[in-house]
Chain A
């Protein structure tokens, strides 16, 4: 018995690991009535795998049997791999026992599609209902919405889950059609929109009647595979921007494609996943969500790709040197936030601290800004006087020379003579 469950866990955890989302934040589910589990609003990462990704949820598939044949997916019908399926009881028992030992923050349950969408969704629903109602479990649950499942099932699942997600897979419709002819973006948009409407409706009702249960309190997210099809960074981020705006998504995840098959539509087996590009996309995502950048400022027709050797905030600053230098003691919060080397926490501290007197370089360093990077873009109380104005390419090479990036340091840029 114990051998078989170990085998199943290995197969079904391995198949689920390409789903990037592991956030456990946003749930305020309270443990009233002496059950097990209590939401932690900011989430907890309980461990990290050797590839540096956080593990906060038990991320498994209910089964890796699937009726679809999507070229980018490890569980596709035509792939010759071991198949397995958990029973509802097994998933519940694993979750409860891992949670009791403080291994995990909750459950991330996804599934291959067996028989049809409704049948699969109904199974997922049975797991979450058993956890919430029979085991009185209040930990985090992230549930995959199965495209094509009926509205009633999705709605019921939303009453028990904390987050629901549904993957866009490819950033553009054309890319998706190429690799998964049976699927379309429309399959994703419909349930995303439905859940979004329900969230709004429940929230409005809750304002009037306090006892209305919460519906998907941690919101929705989606994921795109990067590097499997030849989209530009601009196309990817504009799609992300649209989805953030239209469906108030909490997160869009970008997953660098790891070659898993010999399909000639895809990168060849053994080629390295585009980790740097993925990192730059996340940086852009953060700039859009927390730094007040519009996607058009970072990626437009003139710059359809992000720089690989420097981060998007620095490259925006270098393209827009006419905004700089910003005087730390006068500049607006929004502008301070746009200075390379200054993050949200430091920007807030600077704005509070400067009310008590002009800030100096040593204070800025102590507050925690990355001064070596920021010094090209700021003025403060004791900035050294500088006669020469540097070109953006010069500033870039100064910064690259002193940074210790783990990525490519050999900048192949050509020398500028004039």
Chain B
């Protein structure tokens, strides 16, 4: 039996609800978008119902400590097929086991959820570290990103608390949405780009001192390095090449 859901957290929770409502035996979960029908399986399209989803969510909150609720959410944001199916299996396993079953790291679904959540949190932390704002002439601090996982919902609070006295935009170029902080609240925005970029190629929209501070930062990055200790392997381990496009200090020096 294969359950199909719409890819939302609500849909996933409803699938858990349907599993216990119908008791169909062994079930695997897929998103409708990735579904390829075959001749021998039976399918059920799970209808997203906020009332059912809420019931499952409440039950989860009752059974799990806060850290695990966060893990479930992070695992969902990984947007991976294995993440969705592991979440589903994890919830089913949790509800048929005695309290405390989430500690059973010997169970493959428990371990997958914990490890995927860890990956998402790591990406979230990398975004907190590697985002480089650029100050534009209209007073905005802008940065474009394309993280491996959908981490914008997770990093929102960090940036809101930290940069409370400046307007900023963090835009997810891959997922076509972003966060805009207007000194009061953070809003979700969508923009139309002709050429989405991380570091804007034209310097016309920069504020007066932006180029100076970028140059100063590049200088600092160079001066603080100790050539006698060069260790490229370690460097790449900490800053994998796919993140270099964000980093001001890794852009070529303009002559």
Contact = CB atoms under 8 A, between A and B. Distances in A.
A401 interface: no
A227 to B, nearest CB: 12
A410 interface: no
Contacts of A67: none
A30 B219 CA distance: 31
A49 B141 contact: no
A356 B158 contact: no
Given A9-B216, A273-B229, A103 B248 contact: yes
Contact of A35 (B101, B133, B164, B222): B164
A73 interface: no
Contact of B106 (A37, A52, A258, A356): A356
Interface in A354-373: 354-357, 359, 363, 366-367
Interface stretch (A92-100, A152-160, A179-187, A286-294): A92-100
A6 B248 contact: no
B166 to A, nearest CB: 6
B111 A102 contact: no
Contact of A367 (B103, B105, B125, B234): B105
B137 interface: no
Most buried by A among B133, B165, B220, B232: B220
A317 interface: no
A366 B125 contact: no
A38 interface: yes
Contacts of A55: 221, 224
Interface in B52-83: none
A38 B166 CA distance: 13
Contacts of A58: 220
Interface string A36-50: 111010001111111
A406 interface: yes
A349 B106 CA distance: 9
A54 B213 CA distance: 20
B213 A51 contact: no
Nearest to A55: B224
A30 B162 CA distance: 9
Contacts of A5: 216
B192 interface: no
Contacts of B248: 101, 103
A10 interface: yes
Contact of A356 (B107, B143, B163, B229): B107
Contact of B104 (A30, A37, A353): A353
B156 to A, nearest CB: 13
B99 interface: no
Given A6-B215, A101-B135, A103-B217, A48 B105 contact: no
Instruction: Using C-beta atoms within 8 Å of the partner chain, give the interface range for chain A.
Output: 35 or more
Contacts of B237: 52
B238 A34 contact: no
Contact of A31 (B108, B162, B247): B162
A48 B239 contact: yes
Interface string B212-244: 110111011111111111111111011100000
B123 interface: no
A97 B229 contact: no
A273 B162 CA distance: 39
B130 interface: yes
B102 to A, nearest CB: 9
Contact of B231 (A52, A59, A354): A52
A38 B161 contact: yes
A281 B60 CA distance: 45
Given A13-B224, A101-B135, A52 B235 contact: yes
Given A13-B224, A406-B233, A98 B104 contact: no
A392 B106 CA distance: 31
A2 interface: yes
A35 B165 contact: yes
Contact of B105 (A34, A38, A52, A352): A352
A2 B219 CA distance: 12
Nearest to B209: A97
| Residue with the greatest number of chain A CB neighbours at <10 A, chosen from B106, B158, B162, B239 | B106
A6 B223 CA distance: 11
Tell which of A40, A48, A55, A98 has the most Cβ of chain B within 10 Å.
Answer: A48
B129 interface: yes
B134 interface: yes
Contacts of B247: 47
A48 B238 contact: yes
A50 B163 contact: no
Between B141, B161, B229, the greatest number of chain A beta carbons within 10 A of the residue's beta carbon is seen for B229
Given A101-B135, A103-B217, A14 B238 contact: no
A258 B107 CA distance: 49
A416 B219 CA distance: 55
Given A2-B212, A48-B239, A273-B228, A100 B107 contact: no
A294 to B, nearest CB: 30
Interface string A339-360: 0000000000110111111010
A9 B131 contact: no
Contacts of B238: 45, 48, 52, 54
A54 B125 CA distance: 14
Contact of B223 (A10, A98, A258, A273): A10
B114 to A, nearest CB: 8
The 9 closest A-B pairs by CB, nearest first: A52-B234, A51-B229, A353-B105, A13-B223, A48-B238, A356-B104, A52-B231, A49-B225, A38-B161
Given A44-B129, A100-B141, A356-B104, 20 more contacts: A6-B219, A9-B219, A10-B219, A10-B222, A10-B223, A17-B223, A18-B226, A34-B165, A38-B158, A49-B226, A50-B231, A52-B233, A52-B234, A54-B238, A101-B132, A101-B248, A353-B103, A353-B104, A356-B101, A367-B106
